[in-house]
Structure 1
Amino acid sequence: MHEYIIFDFDGTLVDSKEAVISAYNQLARKHGFLPMKADMIDELMEMSVLERCKALKFPIYKLPIYAPQLFKYYKEGIRDILFFPGIKETLEELKNRGYKLAVISSNEEENIRDFLNMQGIDYIDDVFCSSSLFGKDKVIKKFLKAFNLKANEVMYVGDEVRDVVACKKTGVKVIWAGWGYEHIEHVKKESPDYMAYEPDDILGIL
């Protein structure tokens, strides 16, 4: 049996699209990147992360430099972020079934914990965060080592290609969250172990 169910945060647990866009546009205005306009969003959502950065003329190699500013702007809009419909009920049912719950994200731990506290969620056991957009596999390995877990004792739920890639590198099974931000055609190429189209599907997969 899986001991832990690990969730990505943005795009999996929460619909933070507006907060992310707002934070990015504040950063773009300050540093001269192309802003995200409303009529660009659908097209951008069909692109990979690297393609989005290229389209917006955002130098992804400078993300570690800009990340603290981006998360500061994100934090300003955190009260407007909501769980995706059905997620909270799924988390509660998982907890009732005896699973431990965790979050592994590229967001800041402070942002995630602030959101969970505002929502009155005290049953997510652990939050681990990556300082790198593409370093999630290292955080998963750190998580497994911290709790002396084998890869087959956890399940990861995430919405992006990089979530699937990170899990493949660590041997952890991954459920793709179809309600999130990554286009299905990008995700299919990486062959996630399972595909969930509604949060309730996670219960059936487990």
Structure 2
Amino acid sequence: MADTASAQASPIARAAPIRLVIFDFDGTLSDSGDWFLSVVDQLARRFRFRTVAPDQVEMLRHKSSREVIDFLGISRWKMPLIARHLRKLVGLNAHQIELFPGTPDLLERLADTGVKIALVTSNSEANARKILGDGHAARIDFYACGSSLFGKAPKFRRVLKKMGIPAAQALAIGDETRDVDAAREVGMRAGSVLWGYASETALGALEPDALFREPQDILDYIAAHRP
């Protein structure tokens, strides 16, 4: 299990430079966790899945994304409906959701390196831009939004094709186990932030290429793998 910001590198990481970073949004760049917990019971009532008691939140952080869905008893066919409704709620309440404190500096400094930046999220592009603000949103070179909960891999492939960058030269960064799974499916390196949803134990069990404890760790890792 990796226990440092620059986890033990895979053969891909040792062989290829990083030219593209693909970020998740909620829980990675935006601090939306508390807001989501404030509406989860509303979602549970509307879509008839199990509510989350306050003392269950920490327990769920140690489960994989699929285990959380199973625990809540959410039918797969309901997931697109829930995602669509959630995007609408975010749009109405975007003013309540802030970026993590280190996000603005991270995007600015990363853009200055010349590494391309993309955003792949189940949230909408409009919501992401609203929360980012015009200045920070402009630093992102490509948006591929509205993915299904477990449908990030096709979005990753779209970004790679659009930007003309091989999977081996891209790093996907997220805060959930499904982000690692999707990156692996496409053949990209996977980095996991430890300030988002999933616990270090849950993420580390999947052995991502890097675990990031703070935004500076991302910059340091990319600097070590520049062209």
TM superposition score normalised by structure 2 = 0.82
RMSD: 1.9
Aligned residues: 206
Distance 2:165 2:51 in 1: 42
Distance 1:35 1:114 in 2: 29
* Paired position in structure 2 for 1:168: 184
Q: 1:175–1:192: 8 Å Cα contact kept in structure 2? A: yes
Matching residue's letter, 2:191: I
Matching residue's letter, 2:104: K
Which runs of 5 or more structure 2 residues have no equivalent in the other structure? Answer: 1-16, 223-227
Matching residue's letter, 2:201: E
Distance 1:92 1:144 in 2: 22
* Paired position in structure 2 for 1:158: 174
Q: 1:33 to 1:198 in 2, by over 3 A?
A: same
* Paired position in structure 1 for 2:42: 26
Distance 1:66 1:196 in 2: 30
- Pairs within 5 Å for 1:1-206: 1-117=17-133, 121-206=137-222
- What's the CA shift for 1:171? 1.4
Q: 1:55 to 1:153 in 2, by over 3 A?
A: closer
| Structure of higher RCO (CA pairs closer than 8 Å, 6+ residues apart) | 2
- What's the CA shift for 1:172? 1.0
Distance 2:47 2:188 in 1: 38
Give aligned-pair identity as a percent. Answer: 35
Matching residue's letter, 2:74: F
- What's the CA shift for 1:150? 0.8
Which SS does the other structure have where 1:200 is aligned? helix
- What's the CA shift for 1:194? 1.2
Distance 1:120 1:161 in 2: 26
Q: 1:116–1:122: 8 Å Cα contact kept in structure 2? A: no
Q: 1:54 to 1:165 in 2, by over 3 A?
A: closer
- What's the CA shift for 1:116? 2.0
- What's the CA shift for 1:12? 0.7
Distance 1:34 1:115 in 2: 29
- What's the CA shift for 1:130? 4.5
TM superposition score normalised by structure 1 = 0.90
- What's the CA shift for 1:75? 2.1
